[in-house]
Copies of this chain bind each other. A is one copy, B any other.
Amino acid sequence: MKNLAIAIHGGAGTILRTSLTPEKEEAYKAALQLALDQAYQLLENGASALDAVEKAVSVLEDSPLFNAGKGSVFTAEGTHEMDASIMDGSNLQAGAVSTVSGIKNPIQLARNVMDKSDHVFLCGKGAEEFAKAVRSKTETNDYFYDQLRYDQWQELKGTDNFQLDHSTTKEQKFGTVGAVALDENGNIAAATSTGGMTNKKFGRVGDSPMIGSGNYANNETCAVSCTGSGEFFIRAVVAYDVSCLMEFKGLSLQEAIKEVIQNRLLKIGGDGGLIAIDRHGNISLEFNTEGMYRGAKNSKGTNEVAIYE
């Protein structure tokens, strides 16, 4: 029997039961399930873990519910700047883009950086030029418009404040989407995508496009996708920290992610979570917030989505 697995997240934060209507909750769960199902179907058809995580993240990017792709929050200038990265655990190849606008699926652009350039990380206008060269699908501002995101921005516009889309005073949508997967060849991969922070300025880049911080994959250890307060995830090099605890200290996947999220990240004040997988198909997740949109599906019969702790 094939050993296949996929896990996804749609962001972590202070998600309160009281703040989501039953209808909203169902909508989130349906969107998560759709991403799981489409990615898992690929795995069943023999696709690579890389293709599966790209598909799962693309589906989440296409939903207005999550802060990535179509649902990206507004910057201080009223635009949308998106970041994404992808990594192949079988050969440590990686691709990433930051602060790109108008790209329908930033995760697919990151994949193109990996497959069709000699580079790992492309940024801003240059990355958009590359997108033209590889014929990435673009969308106009209308596509990215969302009344709720716009209202969130209006509350912060003109101030020096910004939010990770984590605030309990706002409707609860969270900052990042991501996926990790294991394919039939025993290879693992990770993908992460985000619209950043509402009202963000100055071309701020978080951990999502940073290999080692927000995203990492290595067959020898684990594939990891993070979500949370990006600055802290960068300073703690979170995704690679998990991998190193496994490789150098011999921790299990679950021990490693617990140590990183509940101890090392918290020590410097960082909040958020991550999903992780190893080449045996073990799926683990950890968050130090009140909730994380998430889901997992594998060939051993697991098939679930969840929001609260």
Contacts and interface: CB of A to CB of B under 8 A. Distances in A.
Nearest to A267: B92
Interface residues of A, number: 45
Most chain B CB within a 10 A radius of its CB, from A133, A205, A213, A248: A205
Interface stretch (A117-125, A149-157, A176-184): A117-125
Interface string A108-123: 0000000001111111
A235 B120 contact: yes
A125 B122 contact: no
A220 to B, nearest CB: 11
A122 B245 contact: no
B204 A119 contact: yes
Number of copies: 2
Contacts of A139: none
B240 A212 contact: yes
A202 B129 contact: yes
A125 B249 CA distance: 42
A228 to B, nearest CB: 13
Contacts of A212: 210, 212-213, 234, 237, 240
A306 interface: no
Contact of A126 (B99, B127, B162, B213): B99
Contacts of A205: 98, 121-123
A219 B123 CA distance: 31
For the complex of A and B, 9 pairs with smallest distance between CB atoms: A126-B203, A124-B124, A244-B244, A248-B248, A212-B237, A130-B202, A123-B203, A126-B202, A121-B205
Interface of A: 81, 92-94, 98-99, 117-127, 129-130, 133, 162, 201-206, 210-213, 216, 230-231, 234-237, 240-241, 244-245, 248-249, 268
